[in-house]
């Protein structure tokens, strides 16, 4: 027996016990936790892709995933590598690396455990973060328990630990400006900064900070709750949240939210720049998310609302300017669901930056119709932010937040608490929703495929088989699952409490019941029964009583035709109902029943004749035995007749029962009459009462029973033959017959569910059922709560499909293949059927690695947008479609926009043929991305390279290609015409003040809206304006260390007047008085003489110590020794400050030397390939840029870099084609193409 693939798991709803575990990859793949499961969803089309369940350790309950984080792995050039890795932590302290390419657990990280017993001693994992320690080598930082921080190598070994007790740490984030730096936040304001330079304990440096916050409420909670170090702080204090995020726009700035405070903290100054208290009218903060492109903050609140904060120009002050609802009241019955997590799409933000830089309002002569298109000149107007939110009712919401300008500038908000200094407004729109299971599943119901129509005409005409499964939940809703799509097709809110029974009536109606105890003095129970029509969505209650009943309902049993319903009460009462349009009770029975089961449809004659083991059946016996038969999917094949060939009465059905004393019996229901079936009784030994019968299955002629002692007995009602065996397990909960087909060999295959939630498979037709049984306690990775067969096959060669509800609340389809040891000649099985999807799944990252690399190469070299056309029904709606579609019979190289300038042209044709199956299915790119690609394809290599990098989730590379033309033009301008120092000084003096003016307007002119593109800044004006923007933030900071940092900022931007004023304000009692006085005199000197210069240099050299390095730098600046000052700053590790100082005072080769040394540091120490190469190109060091890519084992990237440089620089390109590096790179690219082609040809297409 083998389980089906993990894409047949439908997870239960996430809950607060999952600690909001969710992450959105840069390529648009959403991973979220629900119970022990991790699910993968496409954030664009909102389709469930796959689900992986963490296996539970032995002798332990199901784990709960509490944290997960995508590994920041790019699409490696090695076709055998995997880039869909995600770190997953659970409440048992285990951390696993899950590979969604397989999908399964790839590696378990080292954990604290007792090796002898395997008992987990570790603490629950609360948060995870990937940190870059070495080039192409990431380590995993994990918060375990309430105060433990651990670092793991990529092989899973621990190399560093930190105990923050008595602090409660709750959040960990990586610095977007430095991937080797991360911070950890505590509930009381504790902040830990950690820097890595390797993977040994000595390579880790840490520094502690303290953010002042009011923790009075937390102290009260501590006194009320017993805190254990093994419990995470979030699980102990679920409604006290402390989260933070790094600013994607400003280095050293973090945004922190405590329950009622928003704090802006500067790591460089070790001080709070801004704090605002949340008004009491608003719910507590849950999380804070900065916008990747604009300077907005989005704060999530406990009541599901989103507050929007905008930074004021010239300072780090954020103003509340909008509130939006993320849990709509309409369509939700109280109590409203809780919002668990909120994520921002980095992919959409990157694509908008690409669209903005390469925007063209006219595409093929018509205006672009795009939901993300913008045409405003404002930095933030027109930008749209894509949110993904997850709620605990199993819904995933997709939102678009847009910024608009109010037409009436005097418009006042109805909520006076909202204060916004601009005339902008915000509008949020729901653009998509994915409904998963709405609550924990308690019961399932599968329609019987052979049920006859429920109309009055009866007959042998079978009902249409539907691939639907109904699930009853704790919340009282009924979720109907379409198993062909593995998705919830409909959800009905029928009951207000847990659904305890659920059955199908035909293929379009459901009957269900719930029970609640009355809390009044008289007591009793309220039993609610309802019939739900799937077509109309209407639920109607029946058997409505005015007063509570003495006994609750314990089960519902529906006949295979759906005509009759048995209602079992606790005690002896059983009611028989005819389920017509208006249900009618036929009669009631009062016997001490323990279990009741209606007969299942029998097998056809052809299969029955093959059972040589069964004795012959007389005509009279067979007539009675088969009177319950009501038809099967094929009436002609499944017609059951007597020995004389006459058809049976299809309106009568029978059910078997067991009494408390162990007696068995069969009743037949015919219209309003109920009579004893009078089967041929088994031997007397069969009726010996050994244990209470707890489970039963009935399919003519077999009645199979199971008791609380683990015994299984079966009895042939027509021949009287019987047998039994013991399963060696205690307590049988349910028995289910496997489906049968016209060519089935055995009709005795059963699945047994035990009370310990394990299952076993037996074939009672075999000579030794126990000897060939197959016991599987977990399928796959969870204990079983409910099960039933899904009979969708047509032949015994089809795999059997088992519907399973796990104890983790998930729903699964398990594929069961019976091997040759079970029955003879069952080695062949059909391949699994493809899953139905409403729209193609257009996510290139999900392709096999070799095919994804092929698509990457095709997009980079340039393919005609018409190539993406398919024969799908929506082709007419595509704005880029043209009548002439690509034909597979002609030369596919004609699909390319131009002849490939490098590599083998034949390779391109082969790659296009490899991608043809995906193209025909329309699952390469969605319409929106194709429209964007259409507008970029003829705008040069850099534009195509940026687009390709973005859709494959490589954001840094996309920013690199976006800024590459600017860097090359900057280098060309420096060669053709030297920018005079005087001209630059005049430009900078326009904004040079005594640090009291705002330069935000000037900064916005150079691209404030570009957001994270500022990570690639290299131009002098850009660096200077960025540094000048930060100066006003620190004006109100006190303390000597803050003054020293402020003086350094002023000197770096050339504001000597402001620096002197600040130095002269030093108190005589300060230890900094004499150094400050010396620097003030030196900086105020307007005339530099050789003797003064020499003296100052000597003083500066004496002051260069770890605590006085900045003072010596300032003295060097006072005498114009800026080159030496920059070198001194670089030696002290102030690389950004050094670049700012150089941008202010240096030009030409002097400025290039500073950038070159900075680039080397970025490459070797920060391991940021793309920033380092950008700096090399900005100074014209193309050979070093190519060498960097070759050293990083990316020769194909070096090859396409040459293409982009040649296209942009044209005649200014300084490297000849005969250059050895160029020849080597081109050769490596050809070898890479050859290797990729061979692997692509060997890899079959794979469609999710």
pLDDT for the residue numbered 110: 80
Weakest-pLDDT range from 805-819, 859-873, 980-994, 1017-1031: 980-994
Contact 257, 213 (CB under 8 A): no
CA nearest to 510, candidates 521, 495, 526: 495
Number of H helices, E strands in the chain: 26, 60
**Residue 285 belongs to what H/E stretch?**
strand 285-290
Token duo for residue 970: 């900057």
Burial class (CB within 10 angstroms; exposed 0-12, middle 13-18, buried 19+) of 150: buried
Average pLDDT over residues 350-376: 56
H-assigned helices in 436-539: none
| Per-residue pLDDT at 306 exceeds 90 | yes
pLDDT for the residue numbered 261: 95
Cα dihedral angle (812, 813, 819, 823), rounded to 10 degrees?
Answer: 110
pLDDT for the residue numbered 538: 92
The owner of tokens 């904060």 is: 309
3 state DSSP class of 168: coil
> What gap in Å lies between CA 776 and CA 754, rounded to an integer?
11
Token duo for residue 1197: 């990237």
| Per-residue pLDDT at 566 exceeds 80 | yes
The owner of tokens 């391109």 is: 908
| Per-residue pLDDT at 1216 exceeds 80 | no
How many C-beta atoms surround the C-beta of residue 29 within 10 A?
A: 23
Average pLDDT over residues 29-42: 94
pLDDT for the residue numbered 29: 95
Strand partners, 893: none
| Per-residue pLDDT at 906 exceeds 90 | no
> What gap in Å lies between CA 62 and CA 1217, rounded to an integer?
62
| Per-residue pLDDT at 1006 exceeds 60 | no
Contact 842, 929 (CB under 8 A): yes
pLDDT band at 79 (very low <50, low <70, confident <90, very high): low
> What gap in Å lies between CA 798 and CA 817, rounded to an integer?
8
The owner of tokens 């002798």 is: 59
Average pLDDT over residues 1135-1142: 88
> Which own/partner contact pairs does 401-406 have at CB distance under 8 Å and 24+ positions apart?
401/298, 401/308, 401/324, 401/426, 401/427, 401/428, 402/426, 402/427, 402/428, 402/429, 403/294, 405/376, 405/378, 405/381
> What gap in Å lies between CA 337 and CA 327, rounded to an integer?
7
Contact 1033, 313 (CB under 8 A): no
> What gap in Å lies between CA 385 and CA 343, rounded to an integer?
10
Average pLDDT over residues 179-187: 95
For 1116: left if phi > 0, alpha if psi spans -120 to 50, otherwise beta; the answer is: alpha
Give the up-direction half-sphere exposure of residue 560: CA atoms within 13 A in the CB hemisphere.
30
**Residue 665 belongs to what H/E stretch?**
strand 664-670
CA nearest to 652, candidates 556, 716, 563: 563
Q: What is the pTM of this model?
A: 0.83
pLDDT for the residue numbered 629: 30
> What gap in Å lies between CA 252 and CA 270, rounded to an integer?
9
| Per-residue pLDDT at 492 exceeds 90 | yes
pLDDT for the residue numbered 1071: 74
3 state DSSP class of 398: strand
Give exposure, 373-396, as e/b (b: 16+ Cβ within 10 Å). bbeeeebbbbbbbbbbbbbbbbbb
Contact 1139, 1154 (CB under 8 A): yes
Give exposure, 853-872, as e/b (b: 16+ Cβ within 10 Å). bbbbbbbbbbbbbbbbbbee
Q: Which carries the bigger pLDDT value, residue 991 or residue 1145?
A: 1145
Backbone φ, ψ for residue 682 (5° rounding)? -75, 180
CA nearest to 411, candidates 426, 423, 397: 423
pLDDT for the residue numbered 639: 31
Rg, C-alpha atoms of the chain: 36
The DSSP result for 873-924, as a single string, is GGGGG-TT--S-PPPTTS-GGGGBSS--SSS-HHHHHHHHHHTHHHHHHT-S
Average pLDDT over residues 135-142: 90
Contact 14, 825 (CB under 8 A): no
Weakest-pLDDT range from 550-554, 615-619, 747-751: 615-619
pLDDT in tens, 224-244: 776 555 566 777 788 889 999
CA nearest to 504, candidates 463, 476, 544: 463
pLDDT in tens, 1017-1076: 777 777 777 777 887 888 777 777 787 888 878 887 777 777 777 776 777 667 776 677
pLDDT for the residue numbered 621: 34
Weakest-pLDDT range from 469-478, 546-555, 581-590, 1063-1072: 1063-1072
| Cα 1017 to Cα 141, 992, 1006, 1082, 1172, distances in angstroms | 29, 21, 11, 32, 11
Token duo for residue 319: 């103003």
Q: SS3 sequence, 491-508? A: EEECCCCCEEEEEEECCC
| Cα 1157 to Cα 376, 682, 1131, 1143, 1183, distances in angstroms | 39, 93, 11, 14, 15
Cα dihedral angle (469, 473, 476, 478), rounded to 10 degrees?
Answer: -10
pLDDT in tens, 418-460: 444 456 788 999 999 999 999 999 999 998 765 444 433 334 4
3 state DSSP class of 1074: helix
Contact 1141, 1026 (CB under 8 A): no
Weakest-pLDDT range from 370-384, 865-879, 1071-1085: 370-384
Weakest-pLDDT range from 231-245, 702-716, 959-973, 1205-1219: 1205-1219
Backbone φ, ψ for residue 1050 (5° rounding)? -65, -40
| Per-residue pLDDT at 600 exceeds 90 | no
pLDDT for the residue numbered 423: 63
| Per-residue pLDDT at 643 exceeds 50 | no
CA nearest to 1053, candidates 1021, 1017, 1012, 1082: 1021
Sign of the alpha-carbon torsion through 914, 916, 918, 924: positive
Weakest-pLDDT range from 202-216, 272-286, 1135-1149: 1135-1149
3 state DSSP class of 1202: helix
Contact 441, 471 (CB under 8 A): yes
pLDDT for the residue numbered 980: 41
pLDDT band at 1012 (very low <50, low <70, confident <90, very high): low
Residues of the chain by 3-state class (helix, strand, coil), percent to 5: 25, 30, 45
Average pLDDT over residues 1233-1247: 84
- Averaged confidence pLDDT in the chain: 78
Weakest-pLDDT range from 61-75, 91-105, 714-728, 1204-1218: 1204-1218
CA nearest to 493, candidates 667, 334, 268, 296: 334
> What gap in Å lies between CA 518 and CA 609, rounded to an integer?
56
Q: What angle do CA 64, 67, 69 make, to 5 degrees?
A: 140
| Per-residue pLDDT at 129 exceeds 60 | yes
3 state DSSP class of 249: coil
pLDDT for the residue numbered 280: 87
Weakest-pLDDT range from 8-22, 490-504, 950-964, 1092-1106: 1092-1106
CA nearest to 397, candidates 85, 877, 953, 14: 14
pLDDT band at 871 (very low <50, low <70, confident <90, very high): very low
pLDDT for the residue numbered 308: 95
> What gap in Å lies between CA 1195 and CA 1215, rounded to an integer?
17
**Residue 1123 belongs to what H/E stretch?**
helix 1122-1131
> What gap in Å lies between CA 521 and CA 1023, rounded to an integer?
78
pLDDT for the residue numbered 460: 45
pLDDT for the residue numbered 296: 93
Average pLDDT over residues 528-539: 93
pLDDT band at 1084 (very low <50, low <70, confident <90, very high): low
Average pLDDT over residues 635-651: 36
| Per-residue pLDDT at 111 exceeds 80 | no
pLDDT in tens, 748-806: 888 899 988 888 888 888 777 776 566 554 465 678 889 898 877 777 777 778 888 98
């Amino acid at each position: 027996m083998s389980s089906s693939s993990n894409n047949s798991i439908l997870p239960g709803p996430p809950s607060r016990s999952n600690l909001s575990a969710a992450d959105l990859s840069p390529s648009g793949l959403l991973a979220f936790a629900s119970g022990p499961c991790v699910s993968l969803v496409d954030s664009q089309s909102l389709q469930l892709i796959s689900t992986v369940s963490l296996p539970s350790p032995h002798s332990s309950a199901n784990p709960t995933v509490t944290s997960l984080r995508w590994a920041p792995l790019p699409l490696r050039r090695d076709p055998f590598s995997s880039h869909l890795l995600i770190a997953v932590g659970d409440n048992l302290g285990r951390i696993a690396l899950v590979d969604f390419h397989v999908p399964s657990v790839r590696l378990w990280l080292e954990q604290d455990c007792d090796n002898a017993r395997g008992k987990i001693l570790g603490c629950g994992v609360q948060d995870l973060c990937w940190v870059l320690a070495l080039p192409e080598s990431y380590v995993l930082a994990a918060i375990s328990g309430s105060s433990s921080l651990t670092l793991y190598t990529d092989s899973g070994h621990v190399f560093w630990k930190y105990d923050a007790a008595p602090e409660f740490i709750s959040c960990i984030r990586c610095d977007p400006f430095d991937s080797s730096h991360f911070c950890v936040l505590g509930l009381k304001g504790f902040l830990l900064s950690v820097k890595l330079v390797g993977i040994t304990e000595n390579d880790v440096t840490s520094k502690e900070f303290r953010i002042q916050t009011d923790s009075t409420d937390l102290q009260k909670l501590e006194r009320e709750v017993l805190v254990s170090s093994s419990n995470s702080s979030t699980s102990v204090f679920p409604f006290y949240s402390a989260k933070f995020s790094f600013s994607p726009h400003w280095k050293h700035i973090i945004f922190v939210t405590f329950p009622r405070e928003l704090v802006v903290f500067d790591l460089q100054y070790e001080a709070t720049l801004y704090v605002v208290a949340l008004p009491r009218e608003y719910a507590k903060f849950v999380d804070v998310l900065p916008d990747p492109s604009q300077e907005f903050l989005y704060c999530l609140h406990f009541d599901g609302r989103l507050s929007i904060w905008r930074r004021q120009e010239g300072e780090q002050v954020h103003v509340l300017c909008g509130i939006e609802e993320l849990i709509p009241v309409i369509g939700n019955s109280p109590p409203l669901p809780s919002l668990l997590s909120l994520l921002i799409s980095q992919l959409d933000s990157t694509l908008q930056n690409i669209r903005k830089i390469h925007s063209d309002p006219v595409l093929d002569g018509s205006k672009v119709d795009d939901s993300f298109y913008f045409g405003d000149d404002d930095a933030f107007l027109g930008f749209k932010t894509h949110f993904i939110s997850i709620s605990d009712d199993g819904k995933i919401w997709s939102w678009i937040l847009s910024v608009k300008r109010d037409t009436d500038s005097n418009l006042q908000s109805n909520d006076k608490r909202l204060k916004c200094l601009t005339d902008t407004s915000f509008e949020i729109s729901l653009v998509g929703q994915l409904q998963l299971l709405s609550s924990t599943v308690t019961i399932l119901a599968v329609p019987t495929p052979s049920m006859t129509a429920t109309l009055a005409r009866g007959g042998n005409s079978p009902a249409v088989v539907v691939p639907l499964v109904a699930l009853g939940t704790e919340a009282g809703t009924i979720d109907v699952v379409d198993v062909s799509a593995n998705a919830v097709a409909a959800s009905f809110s029928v009951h207000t409490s847990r659904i305890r029974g659920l059955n199908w009536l035909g293929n379009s109606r459901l009957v269900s019941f719930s029970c609640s105890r009355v809390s009044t003095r008289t007591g009793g129970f309220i039993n609610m029964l309802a019939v739900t029509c799937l077509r109309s969505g209407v639920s109607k209650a029946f058997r409505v009583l005015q007063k509570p009943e003495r006994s609750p309902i314990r089960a519902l049993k529906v006949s295979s035709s759906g005509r009759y319903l048995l209602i079992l009460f606790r005690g002896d009462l059983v009611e028989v109902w005819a389920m017509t349009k208006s249900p009618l009770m036929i009669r009631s029975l009062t016997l001490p029943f323990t279990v009741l089961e209606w007969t299942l449809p029998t097998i056809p004659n052809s299969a029955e004749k093959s059972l040589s083991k069964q004795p012959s059946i007389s005509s009279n016996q067979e007539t009675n035995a088969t009177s319950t038969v009501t038809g099967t999917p094929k009436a002609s094949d499944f017609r059951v007749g007597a020995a004389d060939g006459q058809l049976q009465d299809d309106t009568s059905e029978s059910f078997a029962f067991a009494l408390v004393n162990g007696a068995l019996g069969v009743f037949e229901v015919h219209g309003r009459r109920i009579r004893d079936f009078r089967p041929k009784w088994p031997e007397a030994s069969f009726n010996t009462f050994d244990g209470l019968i707890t489970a039963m299955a009935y399919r003519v002629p077999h009645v199979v029973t199971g008791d609380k002692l683990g015994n299984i007995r079966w009895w042939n009602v027509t021949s009287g033959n019987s047998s039994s065996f013991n399963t060696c397990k205690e307590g049988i909960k349910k028995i289910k017959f496997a489906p049968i087909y016209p060519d089935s060999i055995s009709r005795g295959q059963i699945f047994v569910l035990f009370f310990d939630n394990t299952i076993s498979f037996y074939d009672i037709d075999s000579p030794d059922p126990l000897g060939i049984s197959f016991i599987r306690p977990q399928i796959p990775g969870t204990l079983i709560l409910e099960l039933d067969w899904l009979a969708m096959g047509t032949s015994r060669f089809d795999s059997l499909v088992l519907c399973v509800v796990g104890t983790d609340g998930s729903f699964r389809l398990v594929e069961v293949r019976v091997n040759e040891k079970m029955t003879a000649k069952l080695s062949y099985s059909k391949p699994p059927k493809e899953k139905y999807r409403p729209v193609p799944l257009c996510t290139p990252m999900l392709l096999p690695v070799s095919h994804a690399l092929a698509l990457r190469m095709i997009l980079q070299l340039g393919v005609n947008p018409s190539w993406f056309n398919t024969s799908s029904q929506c082709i007419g709606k595509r704005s880029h479609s043209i009548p002439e579609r690509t034909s597979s019979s002609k030369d596919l190289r004609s699909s390319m926009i131009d002849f490939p300038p490098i590599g083998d042209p034949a390779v391109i044709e082969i790659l296009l043929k490899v991608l043809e199956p995906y193209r025909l299915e329309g699952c390469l790119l969605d319409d929106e991305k194709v429209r964007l690609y259409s507008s970029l394809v003829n705008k040069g290599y850099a534009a195509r390279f940026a687009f390709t990098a973005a859709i494959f989730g490589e954001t840094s590379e996309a920013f690199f290609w976006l800024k590459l033309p600017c860097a090359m033009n900057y280098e060309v301008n420096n060669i053709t015409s030297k920018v005079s120092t005087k001209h630059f000084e005049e430009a900078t003096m326009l904004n040079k003040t005594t640090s009291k003016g705002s330069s935000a307007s000037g900064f916005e002119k150079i691209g404030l809206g570009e957001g994270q593109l500022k990570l690639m800044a290299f131009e002098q004006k850009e660096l200077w304006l960025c540094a000048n923007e930060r100066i006003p933030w620190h004006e109100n900071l006190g303390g000597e260390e803050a003054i020293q940092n402020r003086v350094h900022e002023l000197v770096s931007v050339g504001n000597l007047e402001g620096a002197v004023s600040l130095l002269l304000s030093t108190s005589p009692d300060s230890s900094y008085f004499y150094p400050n006085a010396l620097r003030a005199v030196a900086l105020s000197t307007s005339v530099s003489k050789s003797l003064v210069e020499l003296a100052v240099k000597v003083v500066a050299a004496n002051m260069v110590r770890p605590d006085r390095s900045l003072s010596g730098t300032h003295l060097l600046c006072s005498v114009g020794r800026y080159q030496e000052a920059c070198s001194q700053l670089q030696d002290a590790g102030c690389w950004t400050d050094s670049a700012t100082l150089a941008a202010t005072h240096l030009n030409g080769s002097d400025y290039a030397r500073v950038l070159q040394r900075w680039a080397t540091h970025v490459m070797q120490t920060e391991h940021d390939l793309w920033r380092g190469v950008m700096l090399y190109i900005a100074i014209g060091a193309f050979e070093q840029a190519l060498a960097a890519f070759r050293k990083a084992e990316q020769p194909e990237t070096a090859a396409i870099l040459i293409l982009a440089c040649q296209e942009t620089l044209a005649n200014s390109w300084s490297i000849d084609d005969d250059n050895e590096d160029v020849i080597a790179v081109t050769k490596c690219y050809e070898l890479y193409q050859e290797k990729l082609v061979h692997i692509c040809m060997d890899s079959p297409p794979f469609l999710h």
